[in-house]
A and B are shown apart, each in its own frame.
Chain A
Amino acid sequence: MITALKRIVRAGFVGFWRNAFVSIAAIFVMTVALFVIGATMMIDTLLGVSLENIQDKVDINVYFVPNAEQMDIDSLQRSLEALPDVESVTFTSREQALAEFTERHKNDEVIMQGLEELGDNPLGASLSIRAKETSQYEGIATFLEDQKAAEDPSKPLIDEVNFVKNKEAINKLTAIIQAVEKSTFIAMVILVLASVLITFNTIRLAIYTTREEISVMRLVGASNMYIRGPFMLQGIMYGLIAGVLALLILYPIVLYLGPATEQFFQFNLFNYFVTDFGYIFAVLVGTGIVLGMVSSAFAVARYLRV
């Protein structure tokens, strides 16, 4: 038993080296396949994050005029908090609003210069209201519009309620992202299937070159497992190497894309790659190993049939 295992392992390694060219071809094809799987994983993660971000951003903001009285704002906040549909109300002071604005646009020279020229803080305080359910925003918005309408025109308080303006954009973005997610999912399934088929065919081709050897092995009474073993081991080695190579190719790409995704999605792809490396490694290398092993087993089975 141990002798057989030893021989299977040795035959696997010898076969790998002796057919180096075929091995390299198989590894190359599998690397591409696994890279495609890895890349779709990254894209899928980004899309998921951006959908979450957007859904998270659904809220109603009430902007007050810059000279609004704190007392009036407080009383509006209290009456909002009294509404049953409201989950939370967050107050942002004028100073906080300015600080956030400056932080967000610190890389934009023009805006920063404009702000400096103004001298005064042009921003008003605001309340950010979050409903318990997305569908409840409509009612809260109506309540706020009523409040605004009831104001004394000579002494305005509410500058703008941004729900109506955001609503369409939010709905549209959500629809776009969901459509993109759906199509990437379909694309991913097709790509993964294509990768599996290409890998399977490459390995079958690799084994085709040794079919004589397989028939001789059967002739001399080698057991099926003894025949299949070295090929499956080779498949595992292809998958392992291809998985590692795919990760090595992905690394500089996410490293390069990291800052860009940080800005665009508020999500650093490189950090994700680093923190979830174990998971990504397991998926890619695991897929490679299983794919290589199963492909080899199937390919050899063709020549084992009586």
Chain B
Amino acid sequence: MIYFDNVSKRYSDGRSVALDGVSFQVAPKEFVSIVGHSGAGKTTLLRMLIAEDRPTEGQVFFESIDVHKIPRSKLPKYRRKIGTVFQDFKLLPHKTAYENIAFAMEANGRSDDEIAENVPQALALVDLEDKVWNFPGELSGGEKQRVAIARAIVNQPDIIIADEPTGNLDPIATYEVVQILKKINDLGTTVIMTTHNKGVIDELGRRVITMDEGRIVRDDNEGKYVL
């Protein structure tokens, strides 16, 4: 469902290259991990997919849509197909867990009834029914990331993008978050995750794309963390 076709990204100084002729595909319901050192181009790759960044060369397709030909006014609608999770959670500090998730649905123009029905379901999926009315400041790192995941899935996106979702978490919280992402994947949502946590990758036993200096150096279907 996702195709990267010879995608390159060079910055204006002409020398620094974030991506160098990257091509790969992701099939529906796949769980793909992208690994590599800092600066290998993992995050740039994800930014291309949500059209936050444009490639200097090559094309990115989401199903049959050329992502970078979507007019700016249609971008929000496109982004609603993608749920995003970040290392630093990006929760709104002045809203409770419930409101943070409801906010994503409101922004998508969902009705109040839908919101009242779906938000508790999403919170249940990430095991946070007892923290519904807590503010992000009152939650642990793992709990915050679970709220962020609930927010990412609540609009039933086709795909979840997780950029270093466990980067700020302790081993137990990391394990929980990865289990939740696995569960979401089992329920039928494609997941693309970047990480440099060896334990996570080896435990998952799913497809691993290894990047180095903007290039894909390995792409294994039941990969291990090799660098």
Chain A residues in contact with chain B, CB under 8 A? 3-4, 7, 18, 212-213, 215-224, 226, 306
Chain B residues, Cβ within 8 Å of A216? 90-92, 103
Would A218 and B90 be within 8 Å (CB), given that A3-B109, A7-B106 are in contact? no
Residues of chain A with a CB closer than 8 A to B155's CB: 220-221
B15 at the A interface (CB under 8 A): no
In the complex with contacts A7-B106, A306-B75, A219-B90 CB distance below 8 A:
yes
Return B119 CB to nearest CB of chain A, in Å. 13
- Assess whether B64 is interfacial by the CB under 8 Å rule: no
B90 contacts A212, C-beta separation under 8 Å: yes
Distance in angstroms between the alpha carbons of A213 and B95 in the assembled complex: 10
Given A215-B90, A216-B92, A306-B72, decide whether A3 and B111 contact each other with a Cβ distance below 8 A: yes
Stretch from B76-84, B123-131, B193-201, B210-218 that touches the partner: B76-84
Contacts of B92 in A (CB 8 A): 212-213, 216
In angstroms, Cα B79 to Cα A222, docked, is 9
B94: chain A residues at CB < 8 Å are 18
Q: How far, in whole Å, are A3 and B105 apart by their CA atoms in the complex? A: 12
Q: Are A220 and B51 in contact (CB under 8 A)?
A: no
* Cβ contact within 8 Å between A218 and B111: no
Q: How far is the CB of A167 from chain B (nearest CB, A)?
A: 67
B18 nearest CB across to chain A (Å): 17
Is B117 interfacial (CB-CB < 8 Å)? no
- On whether the beta carbons of A220 and B77 are closer than 8 Å, the reply is no
CB–CB A220/B107 < 8 A: yes
Q: Is the interface of A mostly helix, strand, loop or mixed?
A: helix
Answer whether residue B203 sits at the interface, using C-beta atoms and an 8 A cutoff. Answer: no
- CB < 8 Å neighbour of A3 from B72, B76, B112: B112
Given contacts A306-B51, A306-B52, contact A221 B108 (CB under 8 A): yes
Give 8 A-B contacts (CB < 8 Å), ordered by A residue. A3-B111, A7-B106, A217-B103, A220-B107, A222-B76, A222-B108, A306-B72, A306-B75
Q: Which chain B residue lies CB-closest to A8?
A: B106
Q: Given A3-B112, A224-B76, is A217 in contact with B90 using a C-beta cutoff of 8 Å?
A: no
Nearest 8 pairs between A and B by C-beta? A222-B107, A221-B80, A220-B104, A221-B79, A223-B76, A221-B76, A220-B107, A7-B106
B-chain residues with CB within 8 Å of residue A215 when the two chains form the complex? 90
Q: Separation in Å of the A113 CB from the closest CB of chain B?
A: 76
By a CB distance below 8 angstroms, the chain A residues around B77 are: 221, 223
B72, A220: Cβ atoms closer than 8 Å: no
Tell me the residues in window 157-179 of chain B with beta carbons closer than 8 Å to chain A beta carbons: none
Contacts of A212 in B (CB 8 A): 90, 92-93
Residues on the A chain within 8 Å of B73, using CB: 224
- Chain A minimum-CB-distance residue to B75: A306
With contact pairs A224-B73, A306-B51 given, residues A218 and B79 touching in the complex (Cβ less than 8 Å): yes
Q: How far is the CA of A226 from the CA of B79 in the complex (A)?
A: 14
CB distance from B103 to the nearest CB of A (A): 7
Cα distance, A220 to B76, chains bound together (Å): 8
Contacting A219 at CB < 8 Å: which of B51, B78, B79, B109?
Answer: B79
CA distance A170 to B119 in the complex (A): 79
Q: Are B111 and A220 in contact (CB under 8 A)?
A: no
Q: Which of A4, A213, A224, A306 contacts B109 (CB 8 A)?
A: A4
Shortest C-beta distance, B54 to chain A (Å), equals 8
Contacts of B109 in A (CB 8 A): 3-4, 226
Please indicate the chain A residues that have their CB under 8 angstroms from the CB of B151 in the complex: 220
Contacts of B51 in A (CB 8 A): 306
Q: Which residues of the partner chain B approach A223 to less than 8 Å between Cβ atoms? A: 76-77, 107
B49-87 with Cβ < 8 A to chain A: 51-52, 72-73, 75-80, 84
Distance between A213 CB and nearest chain B CB, rounded to angstroms: 6
CA separation between A221 and B80, bound complex, in Å?
A: 5
Interchain CB contact under 8 A, A218 and B84:
no
Taking the closest CB of chain A, its distance from the CB of B171, in whole angstroms, is: 27
For the complex with contacts A221-B78, A221-B104, A223-B77, 10 further pairs of A-B residues with Cβ separation under 8 Å are A3-B111, A18-B94, A212-B92, A216-B91, A217-B103, A219-B90, A220-B151, A221-B77, A226-B76, A226-B107
Chain A residues with CB below 8 A from B103, complex form: 216-217, 220
